[in-house]
Amino acid sequence: MAKPRKAGQLEVVGETRDTRQASTATFNERAKAFFRDRFGVQLSDEDLRETVQQLTAFFDLLNEWDKREAEKQGGRNHNDD
C-alpha cells in the first residue's frame, strides 16, 4: 500500500528506473524538437543539458526576485491586487 503523502508532494505510482529513463529520453527528444522547429537549431545532448540548466537557473532567479519583492511589500504578492 502507498504511503500517505504530504500536501504539495507529487505522487508517482509505479515509477521505476526504466520509466524515469524513458521519461527523460522523451523529454530530451521533445525539447530537441522544440528548439529545432522553433529556432532552427539542432542541439546535442550536452547542449540540451546546458540549455535546460540555464533556463532552470533563470526561472529560479525570477522566483527568488518575486519572493524578495513580496517580502518588501509586507508579504503581499502580485495576486493580492
Distances (CA, A) of 78 to 67, 71, 73, 74: 10, 11, 10, 12
Which helix (H) or strand (E) covers residue 32, if one does? Answer: helix 17-39
Q: What are the residue boundaries of the structural domains of the chain, listed by start?
A: 43-81
Contact by Cβ (8 Å): 25, 31: no
Distances (CA, A) of 23 to 13, 42, 72: 14, 20, 40
Q: Tell me the whole-structure pTM to 2 decimals.
A: 0.58
**pLDDT tens, 10-55?**
555 666 777 778 888 899 999 999 999 999 999 999 999 999 999 9
